[in-house]
Each structure stands twice: as structure tokens, then as C-alpha cells.
A and B are shown apart, each in its own frame.
Chain A
Amino acid sequence: MTEVLSEHVGSGSAGGALLEVEDLHVEFRTRAGVAKAVNGVTYSVDAGRTLAVLGESGSGKSVTAQTIMGILDMPPGRITGGEIRFRGVDLLKLPEDQRRKIRGEGISMVFQDALSALNPVFPVGWQIAEMFRMHRGTSRSDARKKAVELMDRVRIPAAKERVNDFPHQFSGGMRQRIMIAMAIALDPEVLIADEPTTALDVTVQAQIMGLLAELQRDSNMGLILITHDLGVVADVADEIAVMYGGRIVEKAPVHDLYRNPAHPYSKGLLESIPRVDLKGQELYAIKGMPPNLLEMPTGCAFHPRCPYRRDNCVTDVPPLYTISGTRGSACHYWREVIDDGSR
């Protein structure tokens, strides 16, 4: 059929992208069995670019991010294959002291749930200042000054007065800003934002997304934005990686994916968005349920729910086929899907 995409697609340049994940495999050994959470994820991001990782809960988005950051729970987690290259160096082969240095200064992360990610017993200013003291050996008073600057930068009103307040004294949106302040404290080259606005109101979401875009513009960071919100993705992504059952099932520049999805799952997601002109009609719904990682379906993991399924889908795992230099789809029948267009 088509040749298999061996190199990453997306923002990668000839010399390799800033951060590249290649064929990553992660599993969890649980009492109920081995959960294959990540089954060959390949994606990359370059300076100044935004890669959106789109997928439903349990599809392996956060586990991939935690593995990049080197904060995966091991055990029960186990990395069973793949590479994570930052500036060409495989992080998985680095000793812990070198990884610790990259964490925060090279790559940093904003978590979905700021309340549980921040330490409840320390003032927020102290927690931000700690980044400078730990990584840079900055003096107590300088670090504190920098913390106030950062709180200002992420627009915490009256930052100077609030530097000694505790996390629970801030609203959800402000806590998320504080998380962002900590994440950008050391000027990282790549920022991973894991569902940074999922728990927030749309008004606050708009503030936070605006802030992230501004910070990215100022410092030319590469941004990996993990989300399940098709609106947010359409708004900010340059490239998209769609995950399903621990794999990337489609990769594409943002306009291509929304105009013309190449995988039945991405197509189904786009079609299930409520549309004004279809009000009063049934919503399109992908039938069935997301896969159980303990008993992944054979062949293509999406086959029990797929309207394009043929016999070989049940037996043959589709590789990530190359569609063009920037696009790939893990569907045996991607041509048909593309030909059908999006609604």
C-alpha cells in the first residue's frame, strides 16, 4: 500500500526537532494485568511551534508527558521502548542528575490540577522562589524578588501583597497562573501544558490561553498542549497529534486535519461537535466505548467502533502511513477517509 512513516512528521526539520519522542512504549503492571498505556508514540515539537496532543481520557497523553519529564511512577510504570531526544540527546539514557537539570530549565510542565500540584503548606511565592534557589543557587531575597516579578508577569493582581499567600487562598484560574509562573521561571525551551484549562471557566480559559500564547511569543518556546477540547486546538495549534489507545492515530498541520481528517476517529470527533445548522437533529456519535487498555482490541484498536472497518482491520495493526511530508494516518483505509472529506 503506502510506505510507512519511519521518521517523525510534524514540525521536525532535517536536523531533527527540538524535542522528539520516537516509538515510545510505556506499560503499567497492575494487579489486574499489564496496562499498555503508551504503544509507540512518535511526535515532535520545534522552537516557537505549538503541537496539540488531542485525545480522550486514558489515551496516554499524560503518561507520555510524564515520561518526557522523567516523573513517571516507576513502578508500577515501565518504559519498554523508544527514545525521547532533546536537542538530539536521548533523555532516557541520561543519569538522573542531568535529567533533573533539564527538568525546569530545558523542559517544564504545567499540570491539569494546579491545586494538587502546588504544595498546600508553603506560600506560593516561596514555591516559585525555590525554583531559583534549587537550580541557580540564587539568594533568598533575590529569589523572592524574582518570584514577585513572575507573579506580575502572569498577571496576579497585587503580586507583591500576595506573595506570602497559600495556594488555597487563590481561585482556580490564579492557581493555574502560579503553576505557569513556576513552569516558566527558568526560561525552558519546551513547555508541556497538560490540560491547563480543563477545570476552568471559558472566560478564565481565554485568559490562560492568551497568557500562554504571549509567553510563547516572547521566549520562542516550543509548546506541547495536551487537551481534549477541539475548540482550543483549532485556536492555537500549529500541528496536531491525535491519540487513541496509547498510539498516535493521526498527525497533521491544524488546517489539514480540520478540513480533511485522514483517520476515522479524528473524523468522528469532528463530526460529533454540535453544529448550529444541525440543531434539532441527532448529534453524530461515535458508537461504543474507548478501549480497555488491559484487553486492547486486536489489529486496529479502533476497529470495534469504526464505520470503515474491513476484515483485515481486526488482524493487522495499521502502521502510521505517510500521506505527505507533514501528514500521517494509522488507518489502512486513510485514502477513503480523506476522499469522503469532512462533512
Chain B
Amino acid sequence: MTAPAESILEVRDLVKHFPLTQGIVFKRQIGAIKAVDGVSFDLHRGETLGLVGESGCGKSTLAKLLMALERPTSGSVRVNGRDITQAKGGELKRMRRNIQMVMQDPYTSLNPRMTVGDIVGEPFEIHSDVVPKGGRRRKVQELLEVVGLNPDHINRYPHQFSGGQRQRIGIARGLALQPEIIICDEPVSALDVSIQAQVMNLLERLQNEFNLAYIFIAHDLSVVRHISDRVAVMYLGKIVELGRDREIYERPTHPYTQALLSAVPVPNPEGREQRQRIILQGDPPSPANPPSGCHFRTRCWKAQDICAQQEPLLEIRQGSDHPSACHFAEAKDVVNAP
């Protein structure tokens, strides 16, 4: 949309392996769960990067790494040029201010014993220099107003709010420290259809108002398309395709992206008998023991010998306009095709 995009987040070769242990007293490592396995991308100021992929592919682990809630096995996450994975103490605390998170479940992610004012204002306790103590209550009320909640409800408890309102509370809290980046992990999945649209509109409005950059994780691909400027598709710990929303949705080149898009039911019954579906068989393999070469090859209908031998890199290949990790990347419109 705008001129040369400025990167606010640079992720390079990020890896997170969780040790797989056996034994209760004497734990010994028998392997590793490769939750995130070499992920690189940039996030630009004010943009939304959508992140999609099947359950267990590593989306939430990636989110935690970006927020420095988990230490990576290797790789770097630069926020405004500084590597948050190496930061410690006061510097880490300062850097964390800039990346906030909105979680999936508005029912369990808020402490039921804290008032809304305490929840939204908690970041000010941790980062006590941001707003002087006397001004905090007013600041919290402002935040509630920004997300469309009644500022007079500051003393209520989470159970007195609906799911959509609780999600707004979570968003208000995420905004408290005026971050430049907000990671939304399934922010609307637990909400009813009629409430989803309200929360999506709120997120877009806040983005414009505060020039926020979002990483938007969701399993609903039409919701992701609506809000995202670019989309990254993950499979077994790796990004397999990355592009602008139209590139991913209209000209996907990776077979996994094509299968994922083609599995999404179209909310229009016209012509449903003619629709062609790519139905993937089975579940993704375990991230403890991913297939050699291309991780997707055990479910891929295009797999050749080379796919088992050589890992396809995430790069732009001939005949395509965006990076894809497939030896045989080839654009195919699966959504609008008959």
C-alpha cells in the first residue's frame, strides 16, 4: 500500500526444539519436538501479517518466541534492530513493552478475581514509569473507552461480561503500554459469528489509529484474508509459503496452501455440486519425527523422489511472484476454480 516498508520485526532462522524425555527420576532426552524449525520473515510497521496452518504446526510457539516468553534453541528476533532473544533484565523489560499479545480464549485468559481496572492497568504496575500512579485510573478508563467498553464498568469482574466484551478487555490491556506490535493468537475464534465482526472492526480501527503492526493467527482463512496485508502459511514448524493476500489466496503455489484453501467451505450454495476439493488424507506427522526433505511429502500428491532427499527452500521460483517452499511450485487458483 505505502512506499518502502520499514521492518519493525526481523525474524531469522528461528528454531525452538522442546526436549522429548523419558523416565521420571532420571530424565533422559530421547528426541526433540521441532515446534518451530527455521522460520524467517519480516513484519513491517503498521501492517498485518496473517499466520495460518493446522493445529500443532507451531503458531503459538512462534508467538511466544517473538514475545521472549520462550527462549529459542537458535535464531534471532530483532525488534527495531535489537535482538530480543539476547536481551536481559531492564533491556528485555523495555523491549517487551513494545510487543503485546491478545489471546484466544476470552474466558480463561483473564484472572477472574481481578477487576477489569486491575486487569487493564496491570501492565502499569509492571512498567511503573509509564503512567504515574495517580493517573492510572483515568488512563484505564480511557483505554476502556477506546475499545468500546463503558468506562464506568472499571470495577466489574470478568464474569460480568460477555465473550466479546472480555476480548475487548484483553485488547485494552494489550494497548496499555502503547506497543508497536500486537500478536493476536486466535482473537476471534471463541466468539459467536455476530460478535466476531465487531471485534475484527475494532482491531482494524485501532490499527489505523495507532499505526499498530499485527501478527494475526487464526484458523478461519476468510477472517485472515479480510484483515491481512500478507499471509504466511506454516506446516510442521516451517513457513511453506509467504505472500501478499492476493498472492496466497488467488495464486497459491505450494500444494499445502492449495489443499488448505480448497478445504475451506464456501458460504454460498450456488454451484456446490461442481466444486472440486483437494481433501488431504490423515493428520500431519508428528513434529518429533518430521519426514526427511519436504515435511509435506507424506501428504503431497505431487511428491517426487527429490522431495524426500532435498529440503525445498522458501524462495521465489520461476513462474511465481512470491516465496514458496516447494520444488515444483506452480500457481493454481483453488478458490475460484470451478
Task: Determine the distance from Cα of A231 to Cα of B196 in the docked complex, in whole angstroms.
Answer: 15
Q: Is B260 a contact partner of A272 (Cβ separation < 8 A)?
A: no
CB distance from B286 to the nearest CB of A (A): 10
A274 within 8 A of B: yes
From B54, B204, B223, B270, give the contact of A203 (CB < 8 A).
B54
Specify the main secondary structure of chain A where it touches its partner: helix
Question: Which residues of A from 72 to 109 have beta carbons under 8 Å from B?
Answer: none
State the CA gap A255–B269 with chains docked (Å): 6
Contact B260 A290 (CB under 8 A): no
Q: Which of B193, B201, B269, B283 contacts A269 (CB 8 A)?
A: B193
For residue B261, which residue of chain A has the nearest CB? A202
Q: Mark A249-276, 1 if CB is under 8 A from B, else 0.
A: 0000011001000000000111011101
Q: How many angstroms from the CA of A209 to the CA of B249 in the assembled complex?
A: 23
CB neighbors of A among B43-85 (8 A): 54-55
Of the candidate stretches B21-29, B273-281, B311-319, the one touching chain A is B273-281
Query: What CA separation (Å) do A206 and B265 show in the bound complex?
Result: 8
Scan B183-199; emit 1 where CB is below 8 A from any A CB, else 0: 00000000011111110
B162→A289 contact, CB < 8 A: yes
Query: Does B322 belong to the interface (CB within 8 Å)?
Result: no
Decide if B263 touches A258 in the complex (CB within 8 Å): no
Judge if A205 is at the interface, Cβ distance under 8 Å.
yes
Whether the pair A234, B267 counts as a contact (CB closer than 8 A) is yes
Please determine whether B268 and A201 come into contact, CB atoms closer than 8 angstroms.
no
Select which of A173, A201, A290 is within 8 A of B192 by beta carbon. Answer: A290
Stretch in contact with the other chain, from A15-23, A61-69, A278-286: A278-286
* A282 engages B269 (CB within 8 Å): no
**Complex contact B223–A56 (CB within 8 A):** no
Say whether A202 contacts B260, CB under 8 Å.
yes
For residue A93, give the distance in angstroms from its CB to the closest CB of chain B: 35
Is the CB of B264 closer than 8 A to any CB of chain A? yes
Check if B226 sits within 8 Å of A279, measured CB to CB.
Answer: yes
Complex contact B263–A205 (CB within 8 A): yes
* Chain B neighbourhood of A56, CB < 8 A: 192-194
Q: Given known contacts A228-B193, A231-B267, A285-B201, is B226 in contact with A201 (CB within 8 Å)? A: no
Point out the residues of chain A lying under 8 angstroms from B267, CB to CB: 230-231, 233-234, 258, 270, 273
- A235 and B266 contact, CB distance less than 8 A: yes
Q: Are A289 and B259 in contact (CB under 8 A)?
A: no
Extra contacts, 12 of them, besides A235-B265, A285-B194, A289-B165 (Cβ < 8 A), are: A173-B283, A203-B260, A205-B265, A229-B265, A234-B265, A254-B269, A255-B269, A272-B194, A274-B200, A274-B223, A283-B200, A285-B198
Q: Which residues of A contact B (CB under 8 A)?
A: 56-57, 157, 171-174, 201-207, 209-210, 228-235, 237, 254-255, 258, 268-270, 272-274, 276, 279, 282-287, 289-290
In the complex, the 10 A-B pairs of residues with the closest C-beta atoms, listed nearest first: A231-B265, A274-B226, A285-B197, A206-B263, A286-B194, A56-B192, A272-B197, A283-B197, A230-B267, A234-B269
